[in-house]
Amino acid sequence: MPQPKVKLVVTGDDFGYCERRNQGIVDLFKAGGISNVSLLVNAVSAEHAAELAKRNHIPIGLHANLSEGLPVSQDLTGSTLLNKDGFFHGKMGFREVLQSGQLKMSEVEAELRAQVNRFCELVGHMPYHMDGHQHVHVLPEVREVFAQVLSDFGITYTRVPIEPGLKFCTFLPSHLRDFNAQVEKDALESIEVFHRHGIRWPDVYLGLSTMGKNMSVSNLKRALGFTLEASLDDGVTSQLIQSNDAATDSYHLVTAELMVHPGYPSQPHQGGCGEGPDDFSQSADRLHELNTLRDPLVLNYYRQQGILLCAFKDF
C-alpha cells in the first residue's frame, strides 16, 4: 500500500442484536471488511457478541441505547425513559418525549452509566469508543449528559454524524433526507459540548448515505472519494477538523469512520433488545451490506487509494 491518506474505522453497529447478526459481523471482520464493532449491551445476544469479540480480537466500543428495548439499569421503574410496558420509547418516540420536556436527564445519566458498567462486565475493559444507537447521543440535553459520562469514565472517542456531501444525495427518500438533516444539525451543535469535555472523534464521518440498499461499490467509492479529495475543502468537515484540533494543511492524514449495519438477517422472534427483532434487523439489507463490504472491488479500492483500515484504539 502507498503511504496512507486515510485511517478508516469501519464500525459494525448493533453487535449483540442476535447471534446471526453477530456471526455475520465476525465473518466480515475476518474478511477484512470491517475493523471495529459497537456493542448493544441491552441486546439479547450481547454476551455471545462479547465472547466472539474476545475470541477474534475485535476492537470494540459501546453503542449506547436509550431508544430500543429494555434498560440495563434496575432503578428505572416508572422512569420517563420508559413507556407503560417498561420499554424505551423507540427511535422517534424518544425524540418526542425529549422535545416535550418530560425526559429526566438524571435517568438518562443513570442508564448510560449502567450501560458502561455492563460493557465492562461483558468485555473486561472500558469501551475504546462510545456512540449512540439511532444517534441519540447528539440530541439536545442528552449530549451534555453523554459527554459528562464519557469524561468521567475516561472514554476518549465518540461519533459526530456529519457527512460531507450528504446534502447532494438526492437519491435518498425525502423522509430519510429530513431525518439525516436533523441528525446533522444536532451533531453540529454537539461539537462544542464534546470539545469542552475533551472528547475526540474522527475528522470525517460517513454512513448516512450508504446504508442498506444504498450501499454499493460505486456509492462507497463516491463517499470515500469525497473524503479523500475534498474533506479539507468542505465547510462542515473543515469545521469538524479544526474543532478537533487536527492539522489544517492539505497534507493532513485524514481519520474517518464509516458506520455500517451488516450481518446475517435476524430471524423472526430471535434477537432484539427485549421486544424481538425489528424490521431493520430482519431485512435482507443486512446481508447486502455484508456482501458489499467484503467485495474484492471495495477491498482493492482501499489498498489502491491508501485507505488503511484501523480502530479507534489505533488513533
| Residue 243 neighbours by CB distance under 10 Å | 16
Task: Let me know: does 64 contact 115? Beta carbons within 8 Å.
Answer: yes
| Residue 91 neighbours by CB distance under 10 Å | 16
Instruction: Verify whether residue 203 is a known catalytic residue.
Output: no
DSSP 309: E
> Phi and psi (nearest 5°) for 180?
-65, -40
Task: Let me know: does 288 contact 213? Beta carbons within 8 Å.
Answer: yes
* Alpha carbons 268 and 281: distance in angstroms, whole number: 10
Task: Let me know: does 291 contact 285? Beta carbons within 8 Å.
Answer: no
Q: Of 13, 14, 131, 203, which is the active-site residue?
A: 13
Task: Let me know: does 42 contact 133? Beta carbons within 8 Å.
Answer: no
122: left (phi over 0), alpha (psi -120 to 50) or beta: alpha
Name the nearest CA neighbour of 218 among 226, 44, 49. Answer: 226
- Catalogue the active-site residues: 13
